Structure 1
Amino acid sequence: MMQPLGLQLGEFGQTLIAGAPLVAWLKAIGIWAVLSVIFIVVQRVLARRLEALAKRTRTNIDNVIANALRRTRAYFLVGLAFYASVALVQLPQPVVRWGGRIAFVLLLLQVIRWGNGLITFYVERYRKQKLEEDPAAVMSMQALGFIGRLVLWTLVLLVALDNFGVDITALVASVGIAGVAIGLAVQNILGDLFASLSIVLDKPFVVGDFIIVDNYMGTVEHIGLKSTRIRSLTGEQLVFSNSDLLNSRIRNYKRMRERRIVFTVGVVYQTPKEKLEKIPEIIREVVEAQERVRFDRAHFKEFGPSSLNFEVVYWVLDPDYTLYMNIQQAINLAIFERFAQEGIEFAYPTQTLYVYPMKPVEASASPDADRQAQA
């Protein structure tokens, strides 16, 4: 006897697949399809609107959110919809558990894309701001971005293995031991690498600065991951490892705002006291007559070996070395002229030799006495 069609479909719908009726599977598939379409449409609409909003504002928050939405992939949204559908329909627990694991793996992949996009966003932003004025810093920042991506991938991999029941404790321990061994083998390279990052972040100097390191001086040409290159005044290139450079005392003349100048003028000892008293005022007038100069002091400092020495201190209100030399030359010429007008003589190294006459030797009394003395 033939059974009714509705009864046949009902029995077919109760057919078990992986521990769940076929009807439940069809319902889950329908919810999965609907949620997938909704998630994808919402993601695209929000991404377009936030991108349009980000173009009209100057803040970075909306740019970051728009970038994250743009990097959200359909496979993540479909996996999220799948997990939601199997959870709503209440399929068997193993199906829900594996659905959750699959969705979690897709979430981790999406986190990698979000993290990579965030790192790329800030590296590109830094590159656009610093490319012309400090290209070496841009290269080091890109290296820092690579390290950030490597750390992100490592963490995501460990979390994924832990989610699938893999004991990562022993793995982390073995990786740590291997890392220590590798670190000891390449500690100098790693030291220079982190020193390069320290230079980029702390900025004790940048490309174009004139610096002095111990007895070496020159202009910074390149800041690399391992070494920094300096062009010396005589033309050759000096190469310093970054770690050695940071362990040294660095004098950065590019950061100088004013230049303090100290020089000495010596006059002869025969200079009268009245003229000695006029010398500081003469020097002050000469220095203050120059442009971009601030006079500090001029004093009769000391009695030298062959001169009476006056110490002069003034400030050049600009760090340019050529400007300082031009001003010093003008001061020297003006002092020479004023001293000539006042009749003041410059001292130069001299020595005075005093000769004392020796007493004459007395003559002997007689030749016989001399012969007796010799005997």
Structure 2
Amino acid sequence: MARRLFPDTKRTIGAGTLAALIVIGVEVFGRLDAGAMLWQKAVSVGGALLFVGVMAVAIRNLGNVIVRHTQSHIGISHAGIIRLGISLVGYQVAVVTALGMLNVGIGQLLVGGALTGVVVGIACQQSLGNLFAGLVLLMSRPFTIGDQIVVHSGALGGPHLGMVIEMGLVYVVLETDDGVIRLPNSAVLAAGVGPRPVRDPAPAPHVAPDPAKGLSE
């Protein structure tokens, strides 16, 4: 494990250090005001683009480090959710920092981004609901992969009894007696979930006494 982690860790640290040096270099040598020289503008624009590229490398390798380090403890699906969260936050930080290096008004972008976020949120309400429900299931961990559970929910046509074989960004996958079933994360979060009851052993069949045998005795 250490040998596999070392290259990604080294690339993450190297890319992060280089990104910090790029920001410092742009602050010292770059300018975009009316009195700036051409080479100063080139430093600012080129530095911002290079910063985004270097940050993409750092974020990707950081995600690989996190997945490889945590997947044996929480499962590959949960580790993938953590990597997705790291990527979303990291790319947002990278874009905002690059825009700041280009002297772009962050306030106007935030207002426009808020309006865009509202529209996108309404359009993707169901998908986002499943995504955030998956994150809540990851943190609260009411069950894990391999658990035998029962999901009590009339909206899902339940109850559903089975073994958890996957916990993804959108669905919880159960292996039931009738086959594999995919339940939306938001519905599972709103449902009652408990351990699958242990089946009682089948009672021994009742054998009626043989009248002929009784008479012969």
TM above 0.5, yes or no, is yes
Q: Which residue of 2 aligns with 1:251?
A: 194
Q: Given the two structures, how large is their TM-score scaled by the length of structure 2?
A: 0.65
CA RMSD of aligned residues (A): 4.2
Unaligned runs of 5+ in 2: 153-158, 204-217
Residue 179 of structure 1, CA deviation: 0.9
Q: Which residue of 2 aligns with 1:141?
A: 79
Matched ranges for 1:90-239 at <5 A: 94=37, 98=41, 101=44, 104-105=47-48, 106-127=50-71, 129-130=72-73, 137-214=75-152, 215-233=159-177, 235-239=178-182
Q: Contact conserved, 1:83 with 1:103, CA < 8 A, in 2? A: no
Q: How many residues align?
A: 191
Q: Contact conserved, 1:108 with 1:156, CA < 8 A, in 2? A: yes
AA partner of residue 239 (structure 1): R
- CA 98–76 in structure 1, closer or farther in 2 if over 3 Å, else same: farther
- CA 145–72 in structure 1, closer or farther in 2 if over 3 Å, else same: closer
> Which structure is higher in RCO with an 8 Å CA cutoff and minimum separation 6?
2
Residue 103 of structure 1, CA deviation: 7.6
Matched ranges for 1:2-81 at <5 A: 66-71=10-15
Q: Provide the rounded CA distance (Å) in 1 between the counterparts of 2:149 and 2:100.
A: 51
Q: Given the two structures, how large is their TM-score scaled by the length of structure 1?
A: 0.41
- Aligned with 2:145: secondary structure? coil
- CA 245–109 in structure 1, closer or farther in 2 if over 3 Å, else same: same
Q: Which residue of 1 aligns with 2:214?
A: none
Residue 177 of structure 1, CA deviation: 0.7
Q: Contact conserved, 2:63 with 2:83, CA < 8 A, in 1? A: yes
Q: Contact conserved, 1:82 with 1:99, CA < 8 A, in 2? A: no
Residue 94 of structure 1, CA deviation: 4.4
Q: Provide the rounded CA distance (Å) in 1 between the counterparts of 2:116 and 2:24.
A: 41
AA partner of residue 112 (structure 2): S
Percent sequence identity over aligned pairs = 19
